[in-house]
Structure 1
Amino acid sequence: MESEVEKNISSTKLESGNSGCSHYRRRCKIRTPCCDEIFNCRHCQNEAKNSLETNLSDRHVLPRFEVKKVQQYCVNCGVCMGKYFCGICNFFDDDISKDQFHCNQCGICIIGGKENFFHCDKCGCCYSNLMADGHHCVERAMHQNCPVCFEYLFDSTKAITVLHCGHTIHFEMENHHQFSCPVCSKSICDMSELWKKFDELIASTPMLEIYRNKMVWILCNDCSGKCQVQFHVIAHKCLDCKSYNTRRTQGPPAAAAASFSTNVVEIFTDRTKLYFKQSDHSLIPGAGGRVFIGVVILNGVA
């Protein structure tokens, strides 16, 4: 037989309705310890206390674990505050269709079903099983602010996506009018079709005569390789990975520069141009510059 308490609880349980807020469905509100006011949840408090109407000096957030002294059933009337309850996070939600579960490694509750996620120790968060064999690990990838909107990602209620490079970003921010990661500048998807169009565009756009033999050094954002290519006003193609996601840089790779410097045994000038004397006694004319107390200054940069 049911006890009086169990009967009281079962008789006072309410059907799921519109109770709660846009964040959670629950049959209670919280009194925030920071400002002693009543809100539906901590997210409602954070939104209210960080709005543009709030004085800048009064803005603050209520951290997840600052919500304390909560339980699933009311001690007075026995009403169930939420069908899902986590005593570690002090969290409850009446909408169990979210398949909430608590991850001990993350230390927070996550939605989506425990069987659909795995925890990556290096990234420090749970990812979908679809990424188990192919994601690029970035240490504490989720424990960062979104690089576009600057909201903290780890406990964000918004959908988050993981880019090919391993960096994380809010899903709604993925179309941030760029084809590259805002953190490392690597391409966020397969750009091979676009690169073919770049090939056609460059082939149909010849450069002026004075630029046709101009060579520049580039750094590839996708493969991190350096190479020297022919200058073009539209884009520069990486010779290694064939990507156009590149940027101009100065000088050859460090290894090539080091190889050159080991052959130079003497540097002198005739006041109009620098000369580099190599170990085989050959001279290499350099750019205009001067020698000052043993430091070579080219084009005004030491």
Structure 2
Amino acid sequence: MEAERLDFGKMGYGCNHYRRRCSIRAPCCNEIYSCRHCHNEATTFFNNPFDRHELVRQDVQQVVCSVCDTEQPVAQVCTNCGVRMGEYFCDICKFFDDDTEKEVFHCDDCGICRVGGRHNFFHCKKCGSCYSIALRDKHVCVENSMRHHCPICYEYLFDSLKDTIVMRCGHTMHHECYQEMMKRDKYCCPICSKSVIDMSRMWKRIDEEIEATVMPEDYRFRKVWILCNDCNDTTEVYFHILGQKCGHCNSYNTRAVAPPVLPQ
């Protein structure tokens, strides 16, 4: 009977963000919301331009049981009806969730709860966030790489509900934004401009096109200084309308840093 009371209403309450048996009182505005995301969506610039603010999860002190409507201090079990307000409960984040299949866990280094199971993640101290164990010793570290906004949609990445991806350069963005970028044939990191995939086949194709495309006499022997976005090397190369090849790493992901000039 005790277990039945604790589990009463499980997965039957909540919002489109979380299944839980309580609401929270936002300490910043003293209003009741199903979760902090519901609060933040209601107070965005477009919905409420004169009171735009976000709820700090750790500041929540009061919750309201969805079963008996009793307001009380934050705890996993309702002090009035005895139901468990969340199958998963984090006293640090003041977080409740009935959906245990998400395998929520709290990361002390991140300071927040993560989804996906502790055994599937490690915390990178330099990057300042949890990454999939598949990336351990296999990613380029960028200090606090997750503590910025997605360069495509500008949503803050560190506590975003969407999946993120770590690119070859170490910078991060939403996975769905990355896929959309690929569909539009954009293969450079929006932050540092490095190539995000292996472009060797494309560089070979440009080699062939340049070989087949002779520049006009006035430009055939002009040179230009270029900066390679992939290896950061600066070299002087012959100018060509189709692109300038890095003499160090053979990449065409380059940009001119001085106008083309005739050799002396």
Task: Provide the TM-score with structure 1 as the length reference.
Answer: 0.76
Bigger Rg, which one: 1
Residue of 7, 10, 28 corresponding to 1:16: 10
Matched, 1:166 2:174: no
Residue of 132, 150, 153 corresponding to 1:149: 153
Whole-angstrom CA distance in 2 between matches of 1:184 and 1:222? 9
Q: Percentage identity across aligned positions?
A: 53
Tell me, yes or no, if the aligned pair for 1:13 and 1:78 is still in contact at 8 Å.
Answer: no
Q: CA deviation at 1:203?
A: 2.4
Residue of 106, 111, 114 corresponding to 2:115: 111
Aligned pairs for 1:1-302 within 5 A:
7=1, 10-11=4-5, 13-50=7-44, 52-54=46-48, 56-68=49-61, 69-174=73-178, 175-176=180-181, 177=184, 178-250=186-258
Distance 1:18 1:246, change over 3 A: farther
Whole-angstrom CA distance in 1 between matches of 2:132 and 2:20? 27
Cα deviation digits, residues 152-173 of structure 1 (max 9, x gap):
2111111111111111111121
**How much is the aligned-residue C-alpha RMSD, in angstroms?**
1.8
Tell me, yes or no, if the aligned pair for 1:84 and 1:92 is still in contact at 8 Å.
Answer: yes
Q: CA deviation at 1:73?
A: 1.1
Whole-angstrom CA distance in 1 between matches of 2:144 and 2:154? 16
Whole-angstrom CA distance in 2 between matches of 1:94 and 1:126? 23
* Structure 2: tracts of 5 or more residues without a match: 62-72
Aligned residues: 245
Q: CA deviation at 1:8?
A: 5.3
SS at the partner of 2:165? strand
Whole-angstrom CA distance in 2 between matches of 1:143 and 1:94? 28
Q: CA deviation at 1:245?
A: 0.6
One-letter amino acid of the structure 1 residue matched with residue 218 of structure 2: I
Structure ranking higher on relative contact order (CA contacts 8 Å, 6+ apart): 2
Which residue in the other structure is 1:300 paired with? none
Whole-angstrom CA distance in 2 between matches of 1:180 and 1:234? 18
Whole-angstrom CA distance in 2 between matches of 1:193 and 1:147? 27
Runs of 4+ off more than 6 Å: none
SS at the partner of 2:225? strand
* Structure 1: tracts of 5 or more residues without a match: 1-6, 252-285, 287-302
Cα deviation digits, residues 8-27 of structure 1 (max 9, x gap):
56336325334211211101
Task: Provide the TM-score with structure 2 as the length reference.
Answer: 0.87
